[in-house]
Structure 1
Amino acid sequence: MDLRDVKPGSIERKSSTLKIHISELKIGMFVSRLDRDWQETPFVMQGFIIESLDDIEVVAEYAEYVWIDAVREEWVPPEQRAVSSHSIVRKNAYINKISSSQEHRAAIGVYREAKKLTKTLLDDVRLGGGVNTEQAKATVKDCMNSILRNADALIWMSRMRNEDEYTAEHCLNVCILAIAFGRHLGMSEGELTRLGLCGLLHDVGKMRVPAHILNKREPLTDKEFNIIKAHAVHGRNLLMSSPGVPNATVDVAYSHHERVDGTGYPRKLSAAGISDFARIICIVDAYDAMTADRCYSRAIASTEALKRIFQHRGTQFDERLALEFIKCIGLYPPGSIVELVNGLVGIVLETNHRYRHLPKIIVVKDLNKPFAKEIVLDLNGIQQEKLDKSHLIKRALPDGAYGIYIRDFRERGLSV
């Protein structure tokens, strides 16, 4: 090939599968298939990257042979490219400064105050006012500080839902999850602040959509759906007219429903025209919406939401960022409701960042007999001591399953 004929673009890796013994598995390989059914394993995704020796050890517990992607490279024009790899290279490595139980008390106050301020901010816009930028930035800063100390506590708080307050809770939760995702990606504190503000204000344009359409339970007409879609334009206009709003926040409000395959709205931008922050908020926005009860649809479990994000990577969502988000959230994020093989049902209190399928949970129900008392189980400790597979998680459940609502347990005083 004459290099003078090659237009500016990028090299894309394409793959075919290769069967290898587990002893040949190395860091950096992409496992696309096991020698057993995926449902017999704790892996939420049917395909993942080996990132450490610990990952190899976990795979070896469940398989003897695996299929990996053997890669080749080919040129891809810029308009079809996904986010450049340098955008998600970790620049900062964060560690939890305190335990989630220690942070939980502070997180309660942070979340309560942030939710109140978010509702006030959106109500002001709904009544015709502008965006209180300083109030929004103060809310984001409080959330960021909590997440930098320990992300689990505030993520746990974000799982408490109230359908009647969906829009305010959704905006705040997208802010929280976006900051946690940015922390996972190694962003600087300045970037985390900007990303959190993008999350908090991404749906501010919905305050200009008539309430009877925004909260309609029946299927929308084409005209009504077009009115809903206009919230992206309303958001851009509102934020552009508000002093002190960063350009990135305006862009995300305008672009968070664009898709990398060019089928999104309002401008049908292709991948190269969508900013990194907009791609991130697109993923976080979809995840939080899918895991919450809305006026027109019921919540689904976190694992199911992550599967859908995985399925739509490269079309609706940026592929590399989608895979990173799945790793960030993990199998069972704090606040997830899970059912164990032995019939116990519990709420995840704290993730296990080494063995994601063995979190710490509080058991709140027994499907096999009357339940006497709530108890805390560290599944990792049980597995190491007794190797009791009955304590493995059978499945994740949406909020409200078996009559269990996270908000009810918080009101009763449940803490991490």
Structure 2
Amino acid sequence: MRKKISVQNVCIGMYISDICGSWMDHPFWRKSFLLESARDLATLQNSSISDVWIDTGLGCDVKTGSVVVSEDQAAQDVENELARISASKSARVPLHEEIERARALLAQGKESVTSMFLEVRMGKAIKISEAAPLVDEISQSITRNPEAFLNLARLKTKDDYTYMHSVAVCALMIALGKQLGLEGEDLKEAGLAGLLHDVGKMMIDEAVLNKPGKLTDEEFNIVKEHPRKGWEILQGSSGITAIALDVCLHHHEHMDGKGYPEKLAGEQISLFAKMGAVCDVYDALTSNRCYKNGWEPAETIRKMAEWRNGHFDERVFHAFVKTIGIYPSGTLVRLKSGKLAIVLEQSSKSLLTPVVKIFFSTKSNEPILPEMLDLSGSQESIVGAEDPAQWGFDLQKMTGI
């Protein structure tokens, strides 16, 4: 049985199943463990964390008379926190303050896009008026803290890829648009275009779309029809914009003219379509698909940099890198000291000096007390990115993102 209790009521022998608050703030490198040492107990009780969840089936129960928070009260606490964040000004806020709102918004986005795209599959037109509010909410989240929503949007399952990819590209288009100086209606239209860019895939046979193996030439030609099919679908939607139509039709065009469906090249491709190309490829490569696991963010940026001359517009790609960083948030990095850390947020001072959370020593090969560090004001530096799988780390589980 799970119970939420104050950290002051925690005792040795309890199984901590979750620590209330963001992983970025709590003093341990994992969120669930059996509390066995007095040192760990003191660390927890002296931290800024006020409550934890315990599992009485895996460890000791709370002492009689201690204050226990009900599941209903815990749910109400979450609602109150989301309401507080919603009421705050649209200024950049710390990652941990935005993460839960972003999580709720992402779930809402998945539900909305899934419903919208399934209606398309049944032959119904898209209601742009219903999609616009979602774009506005995502834009506000990106303004408050872009890493929160973008980190969560990157983590999708193979089964919900098509729908979540659209939500992720929407967010990336907005973040990139801000970097390029877009604002007002142009920024909203960029987000809407990202949300709808792959709607044509609803007209592709699911057996082909979700095939786990390599596509035949005939199957790939079928998939390549989705930009034009999407364009045809959107033309029948009331309130659709020229930008959304353009990005839907041209997000697979390349600067060297080797893309599809119209083999446009260079300045024949609009700014918004160039943006769509970068955002679409980045999210596709970092996502788990039915036929492959996603690449790590830093590796993806490195690969895209190799292709940029023929594939992407140079200015747009550089702006994209400034948006998400050379070491994007969520990247596991090795520092000069031999410690491992997770990139949390980008620094305004340099793409090479993000804010990280150090949690592991490669010299002793064991976890260490987590430490937040802004590399822009430190002697530490990043040596390179690491593969979490090779270290046996599940970063999503560890961070709670």
Same fold per TM (> 0.5)?
Answer: yes
Q: Secondary structure at the match of 1:220?
A: coil
Residue number in structure 2 paired with 1:361:
356
Residue type of the partner of 2:185?
A: G
> Quick check: 1:213–1:224 contact (8 Å CA) kept in 2?
yes
> Quick check: 1:157–1:335 contact (8 Å CA) kept in 2?
no
Deviation of residue 167 (structure 1)?
A: 1.2
Residue number in structure 2 paired with 1:72:
none
Residue number in structure 1 paired with 2:193:
198
Q: Secondary structure at the match of 1:116?
A: helix
Aligned match for 2:168, one of 123, 148, 173: 173
Aligned match for 1:269, one of 264, 270, 275: 264
> Quick check: 1:156–1:349 contact (8 Å CA) kept in 2?
no
Deviation of residue 212 (structure 1)?
A: 1.2
Deviation of residue 342 (structure 1)?
A: 4.4
Provide the C-alpha distance between the structure 2 equivalents of 1:206 and 1:109, rounded to a whole number of angstroms: 26
Provide the C-alpha distance between the structure 2 equivalents of 1:248 and 1:130, rounded to a whole number of angstroms: 18
Deviation of residue 200 (structure 1)?
A: 0.8
Deviation of residue 264 (structure 1)?
A: 0.9
Residue number in structure 2 paired with 1:282:
277
Q: Deviations for 1:169-189, whole angstroms, at most 9, x for unmatched residues? A: 211111111100111111112
- Bigger drift between 272-281 and 109-118 goes to 109-118
Deviation of residue 234 (structure 1)?
A: 0.9
1:9-408 counterparts in 2 under 5 A? 96-369=91-364, 371-372=366-367, 375-380=370-375, 384=378, 387=379, 389=380, 392-397=381-386, 400=389, 402-408=391-397
Provide the C-alpha distance between the structure 2 equivalents of 1:247 and 1:398, rounded to a whole number of angstroms: 41
State the superposition RMSD in angstroms: 2.4
Q: Secondary structure at the match of 1:349?
A: strand
Q: Deviations for 1:131-173, whole angstroms, at most 9, x for unmatched residues? A: 2322221111100011122222222222322222111121111
> Quick check: 1:107–1:153 contact (8 Å CA) kept in 2?
yes
> Quick check: 2:154–2:283 contact (8 Å CA) kept in 1?
no
> Quick check: 2:169–2:279 contact (8 Å CA) kept in 1?
yes
> Quick check: 1:299–1:398 contact (8 Å CA) kept in 2?
no
> Quick check: 2:341–2:357 contact (8 Å CA) kept in 1?
yes
**Cα–Cα, structure 1 residues 399 and 318, in superposed 2: closer, same or farther, change >3 Å?**
farther
> Quick check: 1:160–1:406 contact (8 Å CA) kept in 2?
no
Q: Secondary structure at the match of 1:268?
A: coil
Residue number in structure 1 paired with 2:46:
none
Residue type of the partner of 2:343?
A: V
TM, length-normalised to structure 1: 0.69
> Quick check: 2:189–2:243 contact (8 Å CA) kept in 1?
yes
> Quick check: 1:155–1:335 contact (8 Å CA) kept in 2?
no
**Cα–Cα, structure 1 residues 134 and 373, in superposed 2: closer, same or farther, change >3 Å?**
farther
Q: Deviations for 1:261-285, whole angstroms, at most 9, x for unmatched residues? A: 1111111112232111001100111
Provide the C-alpha distance between the structure 2 equivalents of 1:306 and 1:318, rounded to a whole number of angstroms: 14
**Cα–Cα, structure 1 residues 370 and 306, in superposed 2: closer, same or farther, change >3 Å?**
closer
Residue number in structure 2 paired with 1:16:
none
Unaligned regions of 5+ residues in structure 2, if any? 1-89
Q: Deviations for 1:17-50, whole angstroms, at most 9, x for unmatched residues? A: xxxxxxxxxxxxxxxxxxxxxxxxxxxxxxxxxx
- Bigger drift between 102-111 and 285-294 goes to 102-111
**Cα–Cα, structure 1 residues 163 and 394, in superposed 2: closer, same or farther, change >3 Å?**
farther
Provide the C-alpha distance between the structure 1 equivalents of 2:133 and 2:103, rounded to a whole number of angstroms: 16
Provide the C-alpha distance between the structure 2 equivalents of 1:400 and 1:118, rounded to a whole number of angstroms: 31
Identical amino acids, percent of aligned pairs: 33
**Cα–Cα, structure 1 residues 265 and 343, in superposed 2: closer, same or farther, change >3 Å?**
same
Q: Deviations for 1:29-82, whole angstroms, at most 9, x for unmatched residues? A: xxxxxxxxxxxxxxxxxxxxxxxxxxxxxxxxxxxxxxxxxxxxxxxxxxxxxx
Unaligned regions of 5+ residues in structure 1, if any? 1-94
| Number of residues of Structure 1 aligned to a counterpart in Structure 2 | 312
TM, length-normalised to structure 2: 0.71
**Cα–Cα, structure 1 residues 401 and 162, in superposed 2: closer, same or farther, change >3 Å?**
farther
Residue number in structure 1 paired with 2:65:
none
